[in-house]
Structure 1
């Protein structure tokens, strides 16, 4: 009896620590989605237009991320053109320094082998996170971190999904990583 109880307790702790959601959390998430979608007009025009301005940049960034997850160097390079254009077109009044750094790293994605692309992508990810925290985002993003990248010094990226798909290692360590922070729409 004691062993069964201890096993159940250990299993509960393991599920909770691995990100399992309780029924109450899932219900609350659904309520939030219903609530927010019904009241979009309450957002201030400034925050809405600011969030919409980041859409092309985020879409392009995520396309490059997905190409690196798939170990596709050529696609990452081709998708980087749209990312460079989106960053160039982004009006970053409050985030000019972040925009300049992001543009510099995005341009590096067009050439080099996939290892060099991944290194540039990781540096770009740090800058994109900082830029989006200042400029705002049009969607919830997940700041994800892999402690194994760069011989244990770690690396991060942004994802539109909570599920880990590691662009820094691709198929060799696809699920290595964890969510460090949720960057909410603002």
Structure 2
């Protein structure tokens, strides 16, 4: 009985000192060049259901670009423009209002009939929308992904609901080029 009590206390001390941490991949990503897992900074964004329509529409556009579908990208961009314009930023900062306008402008340009132009505007939108969501919050965990080869090796980013790399900036040409660079976490 005494040995069981000592064992239980020792086990409790070990678990307590570990802080109840579990082995998770949040905040980590796989460097595809080396195959090594590396630390990824996590950004906590407050939960904001008002961004749901924006995120859903953005992810639909991203998926259309992944599929190299210019027509679907153009048609799905209309919902994104509407969601961005309907977002109430009146109580927000001037920075938030500016980001909303910039994101709306980039989203409107996604209606282009040229896939390369859509990808360029999507990259600009992704930068702006990432900053926008850091202020407003997100209703789900999003992964900021980065492809170092985009735009003549200057790199480009996009947001994804999955850690799996499906590159909208290159589509089928380089579908898995990229890595998770940052994680936006809802509370």
TM-score (norm. length: structure 1): 0.74
**Counterparts of 2:25 and 2:156, CA distance in 1:** 33
Q: Secondary structure at the match of 1:25?
A: coil
The structure 2 residue matched to 1:84, chosen from 59, 81, 85, is: 81
The structure 1 residue matched to 2:68, chosen from 66, 71, 90, is: 71
The structure 1 residue matched to 2:23, chosen from 25, 31, 42, is: 25
Deviations 1:19-58 (A, max 9, x none): xxxxx41499xxxxxxxxxxxxxxxxxx55xx10000000
Q: Secondary structure at the match of 2:111?
A: coil
- State whether residues 144 and 159 of structure 2, in contact with CA within 8 Å, keep that contact through their aligned partners in structure 1: yes
The answer on 1:159 being equivalent to 2:160 is: yes
**Counterparts of 2:75 and 2:86, CA distance in 1:** 18
Matches within 5 A, 1:74-153: 74-92=71-89, 93-94=92-93, 95-153=96-154
TM-score (norm. length: structure 2): 0.74
Aligned residues: 144
Q: Counterpart in 1 of 2:54?
A: 57
Q: What is the RMSD of the two structures over their aligned residues, measured on CA atoms?
A: 1.7
* Structure 1 residue 112: Cα displacement: 3.0
Runs of 4+ in structure 1 off by over 2 angstroms are none
Deviations 1:139-184 (A, max 9, x none): 0000000000011010000000000000000000000000000000
- State whether residues 144 and 183 of structure 2, in contact with CA within 8 Å, keep that contact through their aligned partners in structure 1: yes
**Counterparts of 2:97 and 2:65, CA distance in 1:** 27
Contiguous gaps of at least 5 residues in structure 2: 1-21, 27-45
* Structure 1 residue 111: Cα displacement: 1.5
**Counterparts of 1:134 and 1:117, CA distance in 2:** 25
Greater RCO (CA < 8 Å, at least 6 residues apart): 2
Contiguous gaps of at least 5 residues in structure 1: 1-23, 29-46
Sort the Cα spacing of 1:123 and 1:25 in 2 relative to 1 into closer, same or farther, 3 A: same
* Structure 1 residue 91: Cα displacement: 1.1
Greater C-alpha Rg: 2
When you count helix as a share of all residues, which structure comes out higher? 1
